[in-house]
Structure 1
Amino acid sequence: MSTAAPTTPTTPAAVPAAFQAGEATQDRISWVRLSSVYLPLDTPISDAKVLTGRQKPMTEIAFLFAEIGTEGGHEGIGFSYSKRAGGPGQFAHAREVAPNLIGEDPSDIAKIWTKLVWAGASVGRSGLSTQAIAAIDVALWDLKAKRAGLPLAKLLGAHRDSVRCYNTSGGFLHTPVEQVLENATASLERGIGGIKIKVGHPDNAVDLSRVQAVREHIGDAVPLMVDANQQWDRPTAQRVGRALERFNLVWIEEPLDAYDAQGHAALAASLDTSIATGEMLTSVAEHWELIRHSAADIIQPDAPRIGGITPFLKLAALADHQHLQLAPHFAMEIHLHLAAAYPHEPWVEHFEWLEPLFNEHLEIRDGRMWVSSRPGLGFTLSEQAHAWTRESVEFGSRA
């Protein structure tokens, strides 16, 4: 574990007026801790990217946790993550820009986000650099909601107290179809509302056989989705998409390369089944390309990937303006709150993988995930998360 020397709070004279905390400031950030935590997966995970040779099976997930404290004794926690490469880079970038937080008003979240982005703008304003900032941004929103004594969804202005949820973790391509069926049953018995399975196998017939087996197993009334993880070209997506129509799917996810807005738009226009995509994009601007091309019926942003809650809210406003459905990717501990505050009935994705990291678990029943009464995001780090910590650094002093 490494510890940086305490950072002296920035004085107003040392920074431009636009970045100074004004007379209305009620509190100031005095302490920041960053932690690099690696979550091991019980079974190596394979989707279509593995079967087509683009990636190796996933064996762990790297998390960047940010904890922020103020002079008044308030604290917040947030996280970002990386699957496969990128975890050390996120931690390194966050460590470089985090000292800029000391002395700031924690309520000025949008201003702080901009300040941190420009602190590292030479390496870009999307991708790894903003994913590092995302952990800090989420922590600031958690702090703000805790300070108000409200769940984050209520601070944002909830449209509902629960969100439809579906399970993904039980339907990966490395899993034999018999086990996929057992996993689907277990998910539904737990109270989860829908089932998503992976497709994109090199043999399209295998995909269709697996989808048919799951549909017959869960029945016609249970929502079913599929996810191709960007593995089809346009002709294949068109052919397989048509073949999948008979299974009454809620959506076909990432049928094409994540940046192929025109191809996704053509599919969305030609198929009855909704097209969902967006999880691999790393900025609001990239998502805007999908929106302006009418490339998705259901948009799937990932708050940690696009820079945190602050940019997510900007994107949600754009999606709402176009009357798009919303189904945020992964990180249900964050996305439950954001989905609850979206005007149109959304979905949230259930993965049990992250549960060992936290002392609290989300309530799932009646096909929905429920917002708890706990303030902020409603979670604290477990002893197991601390045991999986490989590196941490602190700035400033804790109140």
Structure 2
Amino acid sequence: MAKITSVEVLQADLKPKVKRTDAVQAFELQETPMVRVTDADGVTGTGYSYTIGTGGSSVVRLLDDHLVPMLLGRDAEDIEAIWRDLFYRVHATTVGALTSIAIAAIDTALWDLRARRAKLPLHKVAGGAKDGIELYYTEGGWLHIPEAELVVEAVRAKERGFGGAKLKVGRPHVAEDVSRIRAVREQVGPAWDIMTDANQGFRLDEAIRRARFYEELDVAWFEEPIHADDVHAHVRLAASTSVPIAVGESMYSLSQFKDYLQQGACSIVQVDVGRIGGVTPWLKVAHLAEAFNVPVCPHFLMELHLPLCCAVPNSRWLEYIPQLDLVTEAGIRIEDGKAMASTEPGLGIAWDWKALEPHIVHRKTHGPS
């Protein structure tokens, strides 16, 4: 038994290294709620999640006031039981983003602790399906970037060994989106993947219209075309096009993914460990998708999603958006366009606590410090 003796709650605010915009919002700030769980043997696991600029203080307040006090004295190996107890403790606010983000910070810390105690990397503890995952590039595809620069970024990504790139869509007229995608396609050729992402910016009629244009440009997927709470609209869209429909970053429960998969409303699952509530439900979603023969291509948090992608057999792509390299001692290892899972025990994230310190805006210790 590894009883939890103390828990530290932090919030670190990390500014994006580049300007990030899409059809509905701007990525202003990575507010990073962090949880450090220490057991009676002195082993510490570190977990985290994120927001894109609002809500971080609410997440850490939820952690401090309601969730973290429940951990003290618990067996850290009872991860499933702890997850369920946390979920039902705040059942009145579930299923919801802030609650899922808060639970994710705790759950990832517990998985880090488990792997460290086992002296194994997370991808081995969670499944051990593979050692690497193909990368696609997002940082050069934001909606504000001019077309000529978009092309330069895509060509550069291909030269660096990435297997594809994501282009944000949602310009006022479909012709603008088509012009941007076509310009990239003409330069990278047919044997390179272009992903498109609307960030829930369209109504059903406009999504169907745009998908017809995207088909001829052979895009790899059409991501978040419509608001995530409208499963039926996604069913109709998926039935109208040959373009794979990708969803998941704005879904917060296993049941939501079940509904999409059962109704054939998506072809790609983009479950986000920081928004689904941690590693525990992430793995369940991934295995559920496998049962429907659907690939997993997670959203953001590449450092944490890397071992998870390598844990399951149906992962297809890892999204390359570097952020933690600001506060870690080493970035992810890339070989021939693939991100390779760390062989170090735990999540595989080497935090640089000295570099992180100036970014910390909240800290509270529960139990002995």
Same fold (TM over 0.5): yes
**Would you say 1:283 and 2:258 are equivalent positions?**
no
Once the two structures are overlaid, the 10-residue window that deviates more, 194-203 or 174-183, is 174-183
**Would you say 1:127 and 2:97 are equivalent positions?**
yes
How far apart, in 2, do the equivalents of 1:274 and 1:281 lie?
18
In structure 2, what is the equivalent of residue 86 of structure 1? 55
In structure 2, what is the equivalent of residue 34 of structure 1? 9
Cα deviation per residue 1:337-388 (whole Å; 9 max; x = unaligned)? 1111222242111101332122221012322111121111111322232210
Specify the SS of the correspondent of 1:281. coil
How far apart, in 1, do the equivalents of 2:315 and 2:59 lie?
33
Q: Which structure: larger Rg? A: 1
In structure 2, what is the equivalent of residue 198 of structure 1? 168
Decide whether the 8 Å contact of 1:360 with 1:378 is kept in 2.
no
Specify the SS of the correspondent of 2:298. coil
Pairwise CA distance, 1:106: 0.7
**Would you say 1:162 and 2:137 are equivalent positions?**
no
Aligned residues: 367
How far apart, in 2, do the equivalents of 1:370 and 1:172 lie?
26
Q: Select the residue among 67, 71, 87 that pairs with 2:40.
A: 71
How far apart, in 1, do the equivalents of 2:221 and 2:348 lie?
30
How much identity, in percent, do the aligned residues show?
36
Cα deviation per residue 1:2-41 (whole Å; 9 max; x = unaligned)? xxxxxxxxxxxxxxxxxxxxxxxx2211111111111112
Decide whether the 8 Å contact of 2:295 with 2:315 is kept in 1.
yes
How far apart, in 1, do the equivalents of 2:295 and 2:22 lie?
25
Q: Select the residue among 234, 255, 260 that pairs with 2:204.
A: 234
How far apart, in 2, do the equivalents of 1:139 and 1:233 lie?
38
In structure 2, what is the equivalent of residue 390 of structure 1? 361
Decide whether the 8 Å contact of 1:150 with 1:375 is kept in 2.
yes
Q: Select the residue among 296, 302, 312 that pairs with 1:332.
A: 302
Cα deviation per residue 1:119-170 (whole Å; 9 max; x = unaligned)? 2223234321121011010010011111111110111122211111111121
How far apart, in 2, do the equivalents of 1:167 and 1:250 lie?
13
Matches within 5 A, 1:332-351: 332-351=302-321
How far apart, in 2, do the equivalents of 1:276 and 1:375 lie?
32
Decide whether the 8 Å contact of 1:193 with 1:366 is kept in 2.
no
The amino acid across from 1:31 in the alignment is S
In structure 2, what is the equivalent of residue 298 of structure 1? 268
In structure 1, what is the equivalent of residue 117 of structure 2? 147
Decide whether the 8 Å contact of 2:307 with 2:342 is kept in 1.
no
Decide whether the 8 Å contact of 1:300 with 1:327 is kept in 2.
yes
Structure 1 unpaired stretches of 5+: 1-25, 50-54
Moved over 3 A (4+): none
In structure 2, what is the equivalent of residue 255 of structure 1? 225
Cα deviation per residue 1:196-242 (whole Å; 9 max; x = unaligned)? 11001112111000000111121111111111111111121112111
Matches within 5 A, 1:254-273: 254-273=224-243
Decide whether the 8 Å contact of 1:192 with 1:365 is kept in 2.
no
Specify the SS of the correspondent of 2:76. coil
How far apart, in 2, do the equivalents of 1:395 and 1:353 lie?
28
Matches within 5 A, 1:304-323: 304-323=274-293
Decide whether the 8 Å contact of 1:191 with 1:364 is kept in 2.
no
How far apart, in 2, do the equivalents of 1:306 and 1:150 lie?
24
The amino acid across from 1:321 in the alignment is A
Cα deviation per residue 1:252-291 (whole Å; 9 max; x = unaligned)? 1111111221121222222112111111111112222211
The amino acid across from 1:379 in the alignment is I
Pairwise CA distance, 1:187: 2.4
Once the two structures are overlaid, the 10-residue window that deviates more, 234-243 or 341-350, is 341-350
**Would you say 1:245 and 2:215 are equivalent positions?**
yes
Pairwise CA distance, 1:43: 4.1
In structure 1, what is the equivalent of residue 86 of structure 2? 116
How far apart, in 1, do the equivalents of 2:156 and 2:3 lie?
47
Structure 2 unpaired stretches of 5+: none
Specify the SS of the correspondent of 1:364. strand
Pairwise CA distance, 1:109: 0.4
How far apart, in 1, do the equivalents of 2:280 and 2:166 lie?
28
**Would you say 1:99 and 2:74 are equivalent positions?**
no
How far apart, in 2, do the equivalents of 1:197 and 1:259 lie?
23
Decide whether the 8 Å contact of 1:224 with 1:249 is kept in 2.
yes
The amino acid across from 2:154 in the alignment is A
In structure 2, what is the equivalent of residue 45 of structure 1? 20
**Would you say 1:136 and 2:111 are equivalent positions?**
no
How far apart, in 1, do the equivalents of 2:92 and 2:226 lie?
30
The amino acid across from 1:387 in the alignment is P
Decide whether the 8 Å contact of 2:95 with 2:252 is kept in 1.
no
The amino acid across from 1:333 in the alignment is E
Return the TM-score normalized by structure 2.
0.95
Decide whether the 8 Å contact of 1:126 with 1:306 is kept in 2.
no
How far apart, in 2, do the equivalents of 1:160 and 1:285 lie?
27
Decide whether the 8 Å contact of 2:286 with 2:314 is kept in 1.
no
Pairwise CA distance, 1:318: 1.5
Decide whether the 8 Å contact of 1:299 with 1:327 is kept in 2.
yes
